[in-house]
Structure 1
Amino acid sequence: MEKSDAMAAIMNQQGRVSPGTAAPAEGRSCSHLSPWVFLVSALAVKTALVTVGLVVLFHRSCGQYKTLPQNAPGWHCVPNVSASKRSSSPTEDSWMCCPEGWRCFQESCYYFSADRMPWDESQQNCSGMGSHLVVINTKAEQDFLNKEITRQNTYRREGINLHIGLRAQEVGQWHWADQTPYNETAAFWRPGEPTNAPDETCVVIHHNTEHLRNWNDVPCKTYSYRICETAAVTI
């Protein structure tokens, strides 16, 4: 026993640390790192909560107005300039969102078809996507549609017809698909149109130039492209 005690004393004198003295040093190391670990964990949790909150808010905002049309992969959002101008707070952000594949203008979303149908089937197709055939209320909207038709690759050839939401239940008695009153001062008929022929009670945009006056009344069974319209989602 005396020999063992002597060897232990020599090892301690040479700076060797016995196993019993290691715990305090390790404890000091952990106490030094723990605030950083806690801070990183807190930031990670906060980031996750904010992300989830934004996703839920966006989906709730969109869900209040409409669901995505079939085959639409997601949403496309742009700054809502008109809302920013009306806002009393210049720092308030607002976004206008449309389904992917639809075009935004003012506070509406527009879908330009790649296939052709008669007027009734066109309206049903738009309705199935939570929209209706386009209702044109202003010169600015008519100008936007003309420019967009020119931009679309589908409509490169001349004489393209696209159904709009204007129809006459009786000859000359025009009504919009969403029940908006027909306004003669905001109509864009081609020269000599409408003919008001008994068998021509549906209306198309007959696009062969960028001239604004290009509406034409046609038989409702005419196969034409279509433009659907629905309200944009504002978040």
Structure 2
Amino acid sequence: MEQVYGNVEYELSKTSGNERRRVSTDVSVQSVRQRNPLSSKDSLKFLLAALGLLLLCALVALCVLGILYHNKGVSYEALSEQYSSVVERLSVQERITDVCQRALCGEGWRLFGVKCYYFSTDKLNWTMSRAYCAEKGGHLVIITSRDEQDFLSSHAHETHWIGLNDLETEGKWMWVNNQTLTETGVTFWYKRIDGQHEPDNWRQEDESGENCAALGNESLGTDVWFDASCLKKKKYICEK
């Protein structure tokens, strides 16, 4: 009998344990089922909030683009009016300058400062260039400042004779008004990185040497001076 009751108690205990495990498992499953729906709702709410934020950003971006486009149109119109005004003023100034140049200097001459300049279209040797300038009431140009040099260089797009020479005494460069370079105080001779600077009195083309000065040469710009054979034909600049 004791053995029978013992078995019965064991079975009851075993049954009770299984029931407790089933109850525990049911509670766990129920808890998971309860948590999962809450997690899905939270995710849906977050997704909807993110989409709403993106739509708001897109709307703001469209508004900004619209404002920029409008401002661009206004600015373009304003700039167009300003450009037209500037062009008109420049055109008037050019006409005034042209009238002044003709009145003060004569046809074909350019006014700069208190001097008038003539840039030739033909080519002559240095001696003939000097004679032509004298016929026009002036002389080959005498350069006395950096501003004058820059002005001449900006209008002379190829080599031009200037009124500088050492025909009387080799190495003693004189302007056509008999001023020396020391007296005028400026020089713009070309300086080589390697080799002799200008003037170099090169004699391979002319045995008498290079005794006349020009803005530039056949290969370099007109912002510097070169000595050259006076027999060469170049354009020239007169002044008065």
TM-score, with normalisation over the residues of structure 1? 0.51
Q: Determine the C-alpha separation between the residues in 1 that align with 2:220 and 2:201.
A: 23
Q: Which position in structure 2 is the counterpart of 1:114?
A: 121
Cα distance in structure 1, aligned partners of 2:220 and 2:112: 21
Runs of at least 5 residues in structure 1 that lack an aligned partner in the other structure: 1-74, 79-94, 151-159, 231-235
Cα distance change, pair 100–76 in 1 and its aligned pair in 2 (3 A): farther
**Equivalent residue number for residue 94 of structure 2:** none
1:186 paired to 2:193: no
The answer as to 2:139 corresponding to 1:141 is: no
Aligned to 1:174: 173
Counterpart of 2:164, as a letter, is L
Query: TM-score, normalised to structure 2's length?
Result: 0.50
- Correspondence for 1:162: 160
User: Comparing both chains, which one has the higher relative contact order based on Cα–Cα distances under 8 Å and sequence gaps of 6 or more?
Assistant: 1
Amino acid at match of 1:166: L
Q: Specify the code of the residue in structure 2 equivalent to 1:171.
A: E
1:218 is displaced (CA, Å) by 0.5
Residue number in structure 2 paired with 1:124: 131
Q: After superposition, what is the alpha-carbon deviation per residue over 1:141-163, rounded to whole angstroms, capped at 9, x for unaligned?
A: 0011011224xxxxxxxxx2210
SS in 1 for 2:105: strand
Cα deviations by residue, 1:21-66 (Å, 9 ceiling, x for unpaired): xxxxxxxxxxxxxxxxxxxxxxxxxxxxxxxxxxxxxxxxxxxxxx
User: 1:199, CA displacement in angstroms?
Assistant: 1.1
Give 3-state SS (helix, strand or coil) of 1:141's partner: helix
Higher helix share: 2
Structure number having the greater strand percentage: 1
- 1:228 counterpart = 2:228: no
Q: Provide structure 2 residue ranges, at least 5 long, that are not aligned to the other structure.
A: 1-97, 192-196, 203-207
* Cα drift, residue 97 of structure 1: 1.3
Larger gyration radius, structure 1 or structure 2 = 2
- Is contact 2:216-2:222 (8 Å) kept? no
**Distance in 2, Cα, partners of 1:162 & 1:210:** 11
| Deviation at residue 178 of structure 1 after TM alignment | 1.6
SS state at 1:217 partner: strand
List structure 1 segments (4+ residues) > 2 angstroms apart after TM superposition. Answer: 207-212
Counterpart AA for 2:229:
P
Q: CA deviation at 1:166?
A: 0.1
Q: Is the 8 A contact 2:156 2:222 kept in 1?
A: no
CA contact (8 A) 1:96 1:107 kept: no
The total of aligned residue pairs comes to 130
- The yes-or-no answer on 1:97 pairing with 2:104 is yes
Deviation of 1:77 (Å): 1.2
